[in-house]
Chains A and B, each alone.
Chain A
Amino acid sequence: MSRALDRTGIWIGWAFFADLTNALALTFGYMFSRPVTMQYPDKEKWLPYSRYRGHHFLKRDDEGEIKCVACELCARICPCDCIEVIPYEDEKGNRHPAKFEIDMARCLFCGLCEDACPADAIALGQQYEFSSFSSADLVIGRDDLLGKPGKATTGGGVVAARLNTEQDVLVETSEPQGYNWWRNIRRT
């Protein structure tokens, strides 16, 4: 009985295009909802999470000495074969890398080098804006890696970005965390 009623209801709905009007109402509602667009790089940019895998950086220990012991485990485990380490021994008899190069053009940001490192010397940080016109520029040496920004502390927000065409995209943060991008996503 109720099934039959339901079916007639559906048929009456179809005759008066209830399904089509539902669709129109939905799109009309969406039209007045907030867009989710992040206006990168003109106005806004995204802050990476702390677990984000961006550009690598090399860490220093408490004495300011480079932590890496040049064991080459990262070079071994890297699936892209993009790390090149050449060790040397300093006056105190400690191994350190004389040359430590990562070819960012080949890296797939798997983070395996970070996992493999026995000395906790390498990690993937927060920087993600390092595109370049030449792939040769993407081979990053030891000293550059030491200067790269570390892991993000905050993350997930969207902050105002200023495009500095001369050098890099700089972040100008008025709110420390930015707004949460996800809040604009409509879920029904």
Chain B
Amino acid sequence: MELVVALGLIVFKVALLIAILLLLPLPLTWLERKIAGHIQQRMGPMRVGWHGLLQPVADGVKLLTKEDHIPAEADRFLFKLAPILALAPPFVVFVAIPFGESVSVLGTKITLYVSNLNVALLFVFAVIGIEVYGVIFGGWAANSKYAVLGSLRTCAQMISYEIPMGFAVIGVVMLAQSMSLLDIVRAQANVWNIVYQPVGFFVFFVAGLAEAQRIPFDLAEAEGDLGAGFHTEYSGIRFAFFMVSEYAIMLLTSVLAVILFFGGWNGVLVPLPPLLWFVLKVAFFVYVFIWFRFTFPRYRYDQLMAIGWKVLLPLSMANIIITGVAFL
């Protein structure tokens, strides 16, 4: 009986997580277009529903009913595999993400995470690395020059960014003496990591922008020079997969930034429910992502490499050394 309840709970949590992650891109696209509009003194979507609120639904219907086109010269297997490969990892990663301690419902304690891995951080970085394969395969399989250029850029970009990103969080791991995200948040109960690790946060955030393929580092799908980059040839539902994956990763980067550097669900000053604190912080970072997108131009390819290898990598190394010295 115990086992059944526990299993049922896990299934329920996973289902809830998947539902939330699948539905979140709807409000997020709306928000992104609204913010974009107002930053450019426009209004954004206004015509479907109140202030365009139903626009994402209309777009979704449009995407689902569009022809699912596969180019004649494409590698059909890889072409079909790529969107799934891009979509699945961000969902899998959220299994290891804690959203809070626990709440008690009807006398039973329910934890606000699916599992508390003791190597959660490693798991997150390992799984999210798989997502890049989706992008690379997608560009390669489409057999189109724009798409291939997009995947080439992704390859180089990911190598130069995942390394500083990995190093940037080591400082956090050293402070918490654990790789479990739960312990990391608990270690920040009094002082958030951002106070001790501003450089680490800076490196993590810049690398996160690149990881989420957002402007100013969205080289893989640079609309201006590559059509749509790796998903130039995708249409309909497969394109929607890439979009959902992109939003999920943006969300994941925000969530990680909050957990690693901004104290997770630990609040300051105002006593709000922990979950609300968490959501507010994540929402702030999502806003920052969108805000950046409509403020900055895209970095050039070589500039991106230079930033990755010549600035972020030494900075993250120095950060580790200084944290280590401070520990001694």
Contact = CB atoms under 8 A, between A and B. Distances in A.
Interface of A: 20, 23-24, 26-28, 30-37, 39, 42, 184, 186
Interface in B13-41: 35, 37-41
Interface stretch (B119-127, B272-280, B291-299, B313-321): B291-299
B41 A186 contact: yes
Contact of B294 (A27, A42, A184): A27
Contact of A31 (B38, B43, B292, B296): B38
Contact of B291 (A28, A34, A184): A28
B39 A24 contact: no
Given A20-B296, A42-B47, A27 B39 contact: yes
A78 B296 CA distance: 48
B310 interface: no
B295 A33 contact: no
27 contacts: A20-B296, A23-B295, A24-B291, A24-B292, A27-B39, A27-B295, A28-B291, A30-B38, A31-B35, A31-B38, A31-B291, A32-B38, A34-B41, A35-B37, A35-B41, A35-B43, A36-B41, A36-B42, A37-B37, A37-B41, A37-B43, A37-B46, A39-B43, A39-B46, A42-B46, A42-B47, A184-B41
Interface residues of B, number: 15
Nearest to B38: A31
A184 B38 CA distance: 13
Contacts of B43: 35, 37, 39
A32 to B, nearest CB: 8
Contacts of A37: 37, 41-43, 46
Contacts, number: 41
Nearest to B288: A24
Nearest to A20: B296
Nearest to B34: A31
A35 B38 contact: yes
Nearest to B202: A17
Interface string B289-308: 00110111000000000000
B204 to A, nearest CB: 16
Contact of B39 (A31, A36, A42): A31
B42 A27 contact: no
